[in-house]
Structure 1
């Protein structure tokens, strides 16, 4: 009997863990991407050169490939293609309506409002004039972002209205459908929740503390597991995720929720029907809990019941590099750093240009560590970053 087939929407480094995991599990893997040079194109058993956001094109590919499961990870808009394939072929997965609600911040805000989900005040606008009318009575500061983008692209904090036109143009430049959303500015500890929803039941696997660049762009520069929030707050966080999932109608998919723990409790910023990116679900969760979320997602896409029980309680952290010096460390020096206990991975981009960090694509590398406690994980990650900077200053010696 021929092995089952799994179709992965995307072939970039974000999707590579899904391609390799499904192959390791014994399945035939097809990958879809508009970039024929994507790293996963040569790894997958079959590759199809189609845009991940071309739902009709991806459905045509699926009709040819005949998968028993379809998935994507780490990115939002391809979830629309996943849902389209599930609907067309009768496969397990989210509905098209819920996938659109989870990838359009305007539709999401409307759903949150209908279900009384604690979330920031929001207004969707397609012109500067409409935006000015919508926020006329709002206090400042507030955040402006595209309704259909991710990775902090087009995100801007406004402290006053003098820079409204510039901020509107900046956000609109990253919007695919010509709309932006203004949101109330929340302050507190930002966390993300990693989990799944299966047969209507939410399974929270991990809660992650975040470090960002702060205003104006809030680019994520680090993640740590487990979260430092207390047990009672974790219970509130889980209840908020459940309510948000119900609001969007999500089912048979991963859940990546981003929220702010404020003085008034947790408030949902947005929730995706996918695994979290930034190596959170591909690396950090397995290091801190022993749960393989990528393997679980493959199983869910096939209609199987995954094993989501924690195997252990440890800690993990990732820190991203904001800048590199021209005399970046030699490969042998990085190899030495990788021998430090707990260091799981160090990656440095091939380009070392200095640049402003405005979105996640501007980051120049990362270090991932595992440890027995979150304090140790954070300390070791920060130590490696300092050593990298020190090695750079010494010209790689």
Structure 2
């Protein structure tokens, strides 16, 4: 009988039996820890010997997760030398490797063909089409296709281009015209292991993520969240909120489509897990995609347990070990929010505010992906963000406010000068977008601001900022929800300077170019501009600011 830790943890449910876990990254950390809590001996494989969770494993083997034969051979060796009870993964795109090895070893799992259906978007769409599962029209391209004139799409623009066999929104983007299609296909093909890209109808509407445990014909939903997607033409998830705030009727219609998709792929022919990305469009529910594994993105291992009190990873481990899990119902009804923080392009000089973020009431975790000296870029996929904050609270508003506030408290200072940062701050392209989107009146006021005079080599403590009330008094918000005044305060915090807003006399004064940098790059752009002046002043260059 499964018990949540609030009812009493399942300790030593297994007595030294072994489980093979694919992946030693952050997303697999809960599976490794919980398996050990259950009394299982964990054998963990990853192609990276320095993966962050390697030290948690009882035994680690460095094997590429694409090497299904090598992993199956390891499983055979384990079976013949002490036994092996199950194999699993979470948050990776190697469910086909798990299914292959499980079939070869006679272990619980889903059919290998079903895993291929869920790992290849071309096969997936064909399964949905044959079974009448609601999903977009599609067509597939290869590198050979690009050598000649591209054929017309069998549906209208806009469309979405993505590799058939990758995750994390790598190589995924919206295209609105035939002229944009070639470049998008080249990008997607670069992320495809099989050299294929799929082009689909664009599905308009809110997006949701759902996790489920599958035990033969039983499908148990264990987590349904609102996804927060931004920055077209890419699809960057800036967070999710668990549970979804969608109404019961609409939720039921999405679940009906999700269950039909699971069955169409053949996942329900075995035991395992399924993760779906769903959209509620003007035409009704549509399946974005379904993976034959638990979700990544901090959902299955963190936000669902925080929101429900139920350890979903524990249920998945029991399933992988051939046991029929029970007690799926939530033990409490909280909200858990995950929010990301990002950066404009450049090289990280320092990061501050982490302790403040971690000490924010209701915040459970802060995960950092960037570090001093690391190169950062504005995200074009979901693996190039700088970090994530997770919160949990009895009320939805409290959880969201805590996660968003903590994410805003993390400040990333970039090195100056840097050509990538400088190029971003002077760019006018729609992507990457600017931190703020001023209207025509604010832009006109910006253009009326004076350029500062030449400076004498004064101390930076004397820097002033020319007033710009049209911007600072506006209701504009940056990517993270900071007001102009809050971004200014972040610049002061990072640089350690007072930076009073006033017309100057015998001082260094920041004018139009400072405000332009702040509008384009947010607090990072403003701090970068000040740091550039700092470098010039220290080096005695005496240039115009």
Q: What TM-score, normalized to structure 2?
A: 0.69
Partner of 1:95: 111
Alignment check: 8 A CA contact 1:193 1:206 kept:
yes
Alignment check: 8 A CA contact 2:356 2:409 kept:
no
Alignment check: 8 A CA contact 1:142 1:159 kept:
yes
1:11 aligns with 2:28: no
**Which segment drifts farther, 186-195 or 207-216?**
207-216
> Out of 276, 300, 307, which is 1:257 matched to?
276
Whole-angstrom distance in 2 between the partners of 1:203 and 1:182: 31
Give the C-alpha shift of residue 328 in structure 1.
Answer: 4.2
Give the C-alpha shift of residue 33 in structure 1.
Answer: 1.2
Whole-angstrom distance in 1 between the partners of 2:289 and 2:149: 20
1:199-218 to structure 2, matched below 5 A, reads: 199-218=216-235
SS state at 2:19 partner: strand
Say what the alpha-carbon RMSD is for the aligned residues. 2.0
SS state at 2:54 partner: coil
CA gap of 1:311–1:63, structure 2 versus 1, over 3 A, is same
1:303 aligns with 2:303: no
Whole-angstrom distance in 2 between the partners of 1:175 and 1:270: 16
Partner of 1:316: 336
Whole-angstrom distance in 2 between the partners of 1:372 and 1:12: 30
1:359-378 to structure 2, matched below 5 A, reads: 359-378=381-400
Alignment check: 8 A CA contact 2:354 2:409 kept:
no
The one-character-per-residue Cα deviations of 1:205-245 (angstroms, maximum 9, x if unpaired) are 22110112242120211100111110001111111111001
Partner of 2:247: 230
5+ long unaligned stretches in structure 1: none
Alignment check: 8 A CA contact 1:172 1:180 kept:
yes
CA gap of 1:130–1:117, structure 2 versus 1, over 3 A, is farther
Alignment check: 8 A CA contact 1:7 1:62 kept:
yes
Alignment check: 8 A CA contact 1:225 1:317 kept:
yes
The one-character-per-residue Cα deviations of 1:160-187 (angstroms, maximum 9, x if unpaired) are 0112221111110001001100010011
CA gap of 1:302–1:130, structure 2 versus 1, over 3 A, is farther
SS state at 2:199 partner: strand
Partner of 1:281: 300
Whole-angstrom distance in 2 between the partners of 1:243 and 1:46: 39
1:110 aligns with 2:126: yes
Partner of 2:435: none
1:388 aligns with 2:410: yes
**Which segment drifts farther, 96-105 or 3-12?**
3-12
> Out of 190, 194, 203, which is 1:186 matched to?
203
SS state at 1:186 partner: coil
Alignment check: 8 A CA contact 1:141 1:184 kept:
yes
> Out of 53, 60, 71, which is 2:66 matched to?
53
Structure ranking higher on relative contact order (CA contacts 8 Å, 6+ apart):
1
Whole-angstrom distance in 1 between the partners of 2:410 and 2:63: 39
CA gap of 1:148–1:130, structure 2 versus 1, over 3 A, is farther
Give the C-alpha shift of residue 353 in structure 1.
Answer: 4.0
CA gap of 1:12–1:243, structure 2 versus 1, over 3 A, is same
Partner of 2:100: 84
SS state at 1:254 partner: strand
> Out of 244, 255, 258, which is 1:241 matched to?
258
| Bigger CA radius of gyration | 2
Whole-angstrom distance in 2 between the partners of 1:387 and 1:328: 14
SS state at 2:324 partner: coil
CA gap of 1:347–1:41, structure 2 versus 1, over 3 A, is closer
SS state at 1:215 partner: coil
Partner of 2:46: 33
Give the count of matched residue pairs: 393
1:56-75 to structure 2, matched below 5 A, reads: 56-66=69-79, 67-75=84-92
The one-character-per-residue Cα deviations of 1:27-60 (angstroms, maximum 9, x if unpaired) are 0000111111112323211111111111101100
Alignment check: 8 A CA contact 2:356 2:406 kept:
no
Whole-angstrom distance in 2 between the partners of 1:287 and 1:266: 27
Partner of 2:377: 355
Alignment check: 8 A CA contact 1:327 1:396 kept:
no
Partner of 2:419: none
1:138 aligns with 2:158: no
Whole-angstrom distance in 2 between the partners of 1:275 and 1:261: 22
SS state at 2:405 partner: helix
Whole-angstrom distance in 2 between the partners of 1:46 and 1:201: 33
Alignment check: 8 A CA contact 2:15 2:40 kept:
no
Whole-angstrom distance in 2 between the partners of 1:253 and 1:350: 36
